[in-house]
Amino acid sequence: MGAEIPMPSEFVESLSRLRFPAQADNRLQELMERNTEGTLTAQERKDLEALVELSETLSLIRARALQSLGRLP
């Protein structure tokens, strides 16, 4: 494992508050519902995959930031 680089607590705190913008979250929810219904176009499926990947990445960043601050995600 590599060496850890200390980060300013303000930066880590800001990472712990990362959230999807409301518009992106609404689009993600809409695409997930349409996926469940089986009505996505090929482009919408790509959009859904990209939004899910971004959502998962943000969640991991938030969880690591919260962990380093000694909080539960």
Q: Which stretches of the chain are DSSP H helices? A: 9-16, 22-37, 42-68
CA distance 56 to 18: 12
Q: Average pLDDT in the 46-51 region?
A: 98
pLDDT at residue number 30: 97
The answer to whether residues 40 and 52 touch, using CB atoms and an 8 Å cutoff, is: no
Q: Calculate what percentage of the chain has a pLDDT beyond 90.
A: 62
User: Does the predicted TM-score (pTM) go above 0.85?
Assistant: no
The 10 Å CB-count burial string (b at 16+, else e) for 47-64 is ebeebeeeeeeeeeebee
pLDDT at residue number 1: 55
